[in-house]
Amino acid sequence: MKYSIYIILLLYFSNLNAQIKGNATTISRQNVIRAESLGNANTYGNNLNTFRQQTLVPNPVITINVKALNNIVADSYTAVFNLVQIGETAEDTNKLMNERVNRLKSTLTTHGILSNDFIIDVISFVPVYETIVEKKLFSKTYTEVPKGFELQQNLHIKFTKVNQFEKILAACAKNEIYNLVKVDYFINNIEAIYSNLRAEILKTLKDKKQFYNDLGFDLTNYNPTMADIKYCHFPREFYKNYQAFNSISLEAIKKPKGVLKAKKQTSYYYDPLSFKDYDIVINPSIVEPVIQIGMEIKIQYREKPKEPQIIENVKEIIKNKYFILSKDGEIKAKELKLEN
């Protein structure tokens, strides 16, 4: 009995710990099926090896990396909606479409969206056919005949405040416009943002170079090589999806009848670039989806090769000499003078 109570408590606390982690992570009891990420976002797992300290290996090449990231709130947005209208004649189809669009324009004007911020992009205007069957004595003939017309348009709606988007959705739904294609983000002066990042990188780079000089490495004795990159990511590139559910039931397995599986809801969430690997992060606290602009620079210093020492040729002048051996066995050397 005590053993059973212990098992129940252990399962309870394990379940509680998993819920604290959230449904958007892969946990041990596998109540989350993680689908492929949207866009070019990377999928990060809970690999404990990534949190372990790496072994440092000395290298004769000095490498200095500086990574900077700026989270920018967009200056304006453009929502694109797709709508389709069908009618028996071309005139009726166009009239019905104009009525829906004009009602939407009138509603959005009350929310501060001007007519210049509302653009219509006509995609197609084509006849719609249906197949009729003509029965004959020994055969059937299937003939396509025009039944009506189909008009398809995209509505581009520009707005500058995030809270306006909710009102845009409500106005579109009221006019039977439900297909939201995408939302684009725009920045008025992106070059000023890159200039600011370059200035911040230069400051950090100067501090890191001074650090190596303080360690005793004179970087003027090294040959530098450099590589740099800049990038700009929009929110739609970093939306991921997952399904959170628990469909395990021992009672259902015991029943002889089959189990009818329910449709599982797919959830989406915004997962931007993590700034844990960045030296500079401007506007790190993110509340709404933002445009992430980054720059990176890498400089490698290799020691200059030492110049070989030049040994001057020394000429040794050997003078002609002769030797005299005395009676006592003493040897005397005398210079031999030659007449010119």
User: In one letter, which amino acid is 309?
Assistant: Q
Q: Highest mean pLDDT range out of 24-28, 50-54, 87-91, 295-299?
A: 295-299
Helix axes 163-174, 90-109, angle to 10 degrees: 150
pLDDT in tens, 101-114: 999 999 999 888 88
Radius of gyration (C-alpha) of the chain in whole angstroms: 40
- Contact call for residues 246 and 28 (beta carbons, < 8 A): no
Residue 222, beta-bridge partner list: 303
pLDDT in tens, 1-29: 545 544 444 454 455 444 445 566 543 33
How many whole angstroms from its chain centre is CA 137?
66
Residue 179, beta-bridge partner list: 82
Q: Which CATH fold topology does 76-186 show?
A: Alpha-Beta Plaits (3.30.70)
In this prediction, residue 339 carries a pLDDT of 62
137, two tokens: 């004595």
**Torsion angle of alpha carbons 171, 172, 173, 174, nearest 10°?**
50
Neighbouring CB atoms inside 10 A of 215's CB total: 8
Q: What is the mean pLDDT of residues 177-196?
A: 93
Nearest to 184 by CA among 267, 280, 80, 110: 80
pLDDT in tens, 207-218: 999 999 999 999
For the chain, give every domain's residue range. 31-73+189-248+261-303, 76-186
Phi then psi for residue 19, to 5 deg, are -70, -30
Q: What share of the chain is helix, strand, coil (3-state, %, to 5)?
A: 30, 35, 35
212, two tokens: 């190596």
Backbone CA torsion sign across 154, 156, 162, 165: negative
In this prediction, residue 186 carries a pLDDT of 94
pLDDT in tens, 58-80: 888 999 999 999 999 999 999 99
* pTM of the shown model: 0.68
Phi then psi for residue 126, to 5 deg, are -130, 155
Confidence tier at 131 by pLDDT (50, 70, 90): confident
Q: What is the mean pLDDT of residues 263-285?
A: 90
Q: What is the mean pLDDT of residues 243-269?
A: 74
Name which residue leads in pLDDT, 59 or 134.
59
In this prediction, residue 317 carries a pLDDT of 65
Query: What is the rounded distance in angstroms from the CA atom of residue 178 to the CA atom of residue 172?
Result: 7
Class of residue 204 by CB neighbours under 10 A (exposed 0-12, middle 13-18, buried 19+): middle
In this prediction, residue 42 carries a pLDDT of 43
Residue 289 has pLDDT above 70, yes or no: yes
Confidence tier at 162 by pLDDT (50, 70, 90): confident
Query: What is the rounded distance in angstroms from the CA atom of residue 124 to the CA atom of residue 84?
Result: 9
In this prediction, residue 44 carries a pLDDT of 43
Query: What is the rounded distance in angstroms from the CA atom of residue 149 to the CA atom of residue 95?
Result: 12
In this prediction, residue 214 carries a pLDDT of 93
